[in-house]
C-alpha cells in the first residue's frame, strides 16, 4: 500500500510565505549592516563580476532577469519545495540589496576578498546569498533531496 504525503494546508503556505518574507528583509538588513560596519571596502561601479557595462544596459539586464525570475517563481510556486523557495529568497534578497545600493549610491560596496589559484575577486554578503541560492537550486534539482 502506497502512503501519500498529505497536501499542505493553505495556512501552511501563508506561514511559509511570512517566514520567507521575514528572511528576505533580514538578509537585506544583514548585508547592509555588514557593509556599514566594514572598515575597508571596494566601490564597484561595474556590473556582475566587475564587467564594464554601460549603466542603462546594466539596468535593462537587471529588469529583464528579475522579471524572468519573478515570472518563473510565481508560475511554479505551488510545485516548489520549501528549500527551493528559500533558495529563491536568498537570490532575490541578494539581488535587491545590491541593486538597491547601486540605485541609491551609484555603486556596490564589496569587501570580502577571495583569492584562489589565479582567480581573485572582491564580493559582499549579498553576492554570497545569490551564489548559495543558486547552489541550493542546482543541488536540489540534481539530487531531489529537498523535495
- Per-residue pLDDT averaged across 141-147, rounded? 55
Which of 97, 99, 96, 86 lies closest to 132 in space, CA to CA?
Answer: 86
CB 133 within 8 A of CB 139: no
Say yes or no to pLDDT of 3 above 90.
no
DSSP 3-state percent helix, strand, coil across the chain (nearest 5): 65, 10, 25
pLDDT at 27: 98
pLDDT at 109: 96
Instruction: State the average pLDDT for the chain.
Output: 88
More confident residue, 19 or 15: 19
- Give tens-digit pLDDT for 93-127: 999 999 999 999 999 999 999 898 888 888 999 99
pLDDT band with cut points at 50, 70 and 90 for residue 34:
very high
pLDDT band with cut points at 50, 70 and 90 for residue 143:
low
- Give tens-digit pLDDT for 66-100: 999 999 999 998 899 989 999 999 999 999 999 99
- Per-residue pLDDT averaged across 9-18, rounded? 68
Q: How far is 71 from 49, CA to CA, in rounded Å?
A: 25
Assessment of whether the complete model's pTM goes beyond 0.95 = no
CB 94 within 8 A of CB 133: yes
Which of 55, 40, 49 lies closest to 123 in space, CA to CA?
Answer: 49
CB 121 within 8 A of CB 78: no
Say yes or no to pLDDT of 40 above 50.
yes
pLDDT at 130: 97
Say yes or no to pLDDT of 15 above 80.
no
Domain boundaries in the chain? 14-39+53-143
- Within 10 Å of residue 104's Cβ, how many Cβ atoms? 8
Amino acid at each position: 500500500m502506497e502512503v501519500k504525503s498529505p497536501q499542505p494546508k493553505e495556512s501552511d503556505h501563508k506561514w511559509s510565505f511570512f517566514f520567507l518574507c521575514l528572511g528576505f528583509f533580514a538578509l537585506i538588513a544583514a548585508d547592509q549592516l555588514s557593509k556599514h560596519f566594514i572598515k575597508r571596502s571596494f566601490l564597484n561601479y561595474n556590473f556582475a563580476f566587475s564587467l564594464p557595462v554601460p549603466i542603462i544596459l546594466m539596468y535593462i539586464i537587471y529588469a529583464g532577469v528579475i522579471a524572468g525570475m519573478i515570472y518563473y517563481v510565481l508560475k511554479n510556486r505551488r510545485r516548489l519545495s520549501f528549500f527551493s523557495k528559500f533558495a529563491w529568497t536568498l537570490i532575490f534578497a541578494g539581488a535587491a540589496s545590491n541593486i538597491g545600493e547601486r540605485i541609491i549610491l551609484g555603486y556596490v560596496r564589496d569587501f570580502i576578498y577571495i583569492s584562489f589559484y589565479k582567480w581573485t575577486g572582491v564580493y559582499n554578503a549579498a553576492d554570497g546569498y545569490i551564489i548559495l541560492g543558486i547552489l541550493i537550486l542546482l543541488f536540489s534539482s540534481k539530487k531531489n533531496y529537498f523535495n
